[in-house]
A and B are shown apart, each in its own frame.
Chain A
């Protein structure tokens, strides 16, 4: 007898707005565009939606992000499930999880999970939207100010520190990290929604400027304006709906805690390790059963450490594992087939999730890969928060 949640729910609707330097729409307006498209895609009537989960992106912190008020903007009335969620990049996977649990418990039938963000301002650089320097007080209070005085700015700094430790401990190289960036770009070339569609070579990767050494510009994700919405429904209803259902076969989370605490190996062992156990066990599957991966890739390094923590290779061997190009088109482990967050678009955990739904439906066009079991992950904070979904087109 399998796990009762295995195949209990499915993703039945998907809406994706144009991505990138898209200006002139508020976060609510972007969210409404994505939700309208997801509802149309699912074939549901709007009044059949009885749950709404909301994840605002960085504008939830910096201002203007979507919040509980989105319910009224969308005109969703008499909801049976509603929340505003934020576990950073792990939230998208988590929204699908909480929606699935609620549906299985009879608390809702069709739950919209939506992410919208518009951190980019016309005429300003992408980097300025995440560094946080403009919001920094000249006299920060308490020991948290040690970060500011030392010149830590945004996630780039902390991910660089994590990556440098992996490189030092295991001999991981820039050629290996670059192989991840090159593979993802090769996928993005085939994705009409991707922001970066010009082919990239390893030489171009090496030539890209340092952001925070050891991270080159091409180790870092894009910044995007846009929105993505998915609809989660019970599996019994999903099979008769308009879009091909993508079943939720496994779910897990892992949150290792404060990186500054004594004894933490946060740099090289992440919440993926905890989430993997729960998700694989629920699905009754293991890493070898995964036919494609949609991994959260805020940085090339995030992909590398995630592969290790899910057991696709041993700890420390992520570099040699990816170096042969197996993640790219024609490789043995197709990963981030839409170009990911590095070359596709940066919608936090909705980037891997949206591509997993496209692939799970078999709608990937020239980039379609074998989709029996898709590992879809979300990672947030500085490797602090992790959410995992195992998805596939077959319920059993």
Chain B
């Protein structure tokens, strides 16, 4: 239909061996966290071992998807062609205590505040969905 080069995309994460349930959960609209079955600590599935007790037996639990903005910034320098500046970046702390890097959506950049209550909203692509957050 068209021979125009498609706009460059943001890097799209995909599951690795230990994060499959997290990414599968995202496609189903569920924010899944890894839970250490030895000590109960929750974490993002970024590692096989629990960072509290070093056990490697895990279960999966679903987050409420609610949290607060821990900190945020507004990117003005453009480092990658998939991003249009300015855009925000943030760490959100879920009510379960787990933190993740994300973007705040559905609000102007200058209205974002540290401590602002937020709730997950999925940014959906063909084979992956990423957790973003909008004001609760």
**A residues lining the B interface (CB < 8 Å):** 127-128, 131-133, 136-154, 156-157, 160-165, 168-169, 209-215, 258-263, 267
Q: How many residues of B contact A (CB 8 A)?
A: 47
Q: Please determine whether A145 and B100 come into contact, CB atoms closer than 8 angstroms.
A: no
Question: Which residue of chain B is the closest to A148 with respect to CB atoms?
Answer: B11
Q: Does B54 contact A (CB under 8 A)?
A: no
Complex CA distance for A56 and B116, rounded to whole angstroms: 41
Least CB distance from A338 to B in Å reads: 27
Take A141-B16, A213-B73, A213-B76 as given contacts and tell me if A164 and B11 are in contact as well, using a CB distance cutoff of 8 Å.
Answer: no
Known: A148-B11, A212-B75, A213-B86. 7 other contacts (CB 8 A): A138-B11, A138-B12, A141-B14, A143-B100, A144-B46, A153-B79, A214-B73
Cβ distance A275 to chain B, nearest Cβ, rounded Å = 22
8 Å CB contact of A139 from B13, B86, B97, B131: B13
Chain B residue nearest to A146 (CB atoms) is B101
- With a 10 A CB-CB cut-off, give which of A140, A161, A214, A215 has the most chain B CB atoms: A161
Minimal beta-carbon separation of B37 from chain A (angstroms): 18
Q: Is the interface of A mostly helix, strand, loop or mixed?
A: mixed
A137 to B103, CA, bound (A): 20
CB distance from B17 to the nearest CB of A (A): 8
A-B pairs with CB below 8 Å: how many? 147
Chain A residues, CB < 8 A from B14: 139-141, 145
- In the bound complex, do residue B80 and residue A149 qualify as a contact, i.e. CB atoms below 8 Å apart? no
Determine the chain B residues whose CB is within 8 A of the CB of A138 once the complex forms. 9, 11-12
Are B75 and A133 interface neighbours, CB within 8 A? no
Contacts of B100 in A (CB 8 A): 143, 146, 260
Contact call B101/A147, Cβ cutoff below 8 A? yes
Cα separation A148 to B22 with both chains bound (whole Å): 17
Which of A140, A141, A161, A212 touches B91 (beta carbons < 8 Å)?
A161
What residues on A are CB-neighbors of B12 within 8 Å?
138-140, 145, 149
**B99/A150 in contact, CB under 8 A:** no
CA A92 – CA B80 in complex, angstroms? 32
Min distance, Cβ B23 to any Cβ of chain A, angstroms: 9
Chain B residues numbered 85-136 whose CB sits less than 8 Å from any CB in chain A: 86-87, 89-91, 93, 97-103, 113-115, 123, 130-131
In the assembled complex, the Cα of A169 lies from the Cα of B89 at a distance in Å of 18
**Most central of B74, B77, B103 by chain A CB within 10 Å:** B77
**A/B interface sample: 6 pairs, CB < 8 A:** A142-B18, A149-B130, A163-B73, A212-B73, A262-B97, A267-B71
Cβ-closest chain A residue relative to B81 = A133
Q: For the complex, what is the distance from the CA of A262 to the CA of B99, rounded to whole Å?
A: 7
The listed residue (A150, A156, A163, A263) touching B77 by CB distance below 8 A is A156
Residues of A within 8 A of B79 (CB): 127-128, 131-133, 153-154
